[in-house]
Amino acid sequence: MSVADTMREKLTAAFAPKELEVVDESARHAGHAGSRPGGETHFNVRIVSDSFDGVSRVERQRRVYAALADELKGRVHALSVTTLTPAEVWQEH
């Protein structure tokens, strides 16, 4: 199973998201710090979940990082996270 698939499974289990995108951006970072052959080192996550309602943005990110702690200790070098509630997504439009 790929790192992205593992991340999707863990985030789905932890947050029951309405929307979830896990994008492997490793190719954009080839030759940079933390880059490894085969990629799966740099990710961008966008997650929309009711569980973020009433939770500060900092705490939301802490929770996502906690859910992905094993990946961050291992292969993942960089992780960009956007956390939203469904109401915040609606306000974007």
Give residue for tokens 């029951």. 16
Q: Which pair of tokens denotes residue 73?
A: 């200790």
Displacement of CA 49 from its chain's centroid (Å): 12
Residuewise pLDDT in 10s, the chain (93 residues): 899 999 999 999 999 999 999 999 886 655 555 555 556 788 999 999 999 999 999 999 999 999 999 999 988 888 999 999 999 998 776
The residue ranges of every structural domain in the chain are 3-83
Instruction: Provide the CATH number for the domain formed by 3-83 in this structure.
Output: 3.30.300.90
Residue 47 near residue 11 (C-beta atoms within 8 A): yes
Rounded to an integer, what distance in angstroms lies between the CA atom of residue 17 and that of residue 9?
11
> Quick one: CA dihedral 9, 10, 16, 19, positive or negative?
negative
pTM of the model: 0.85
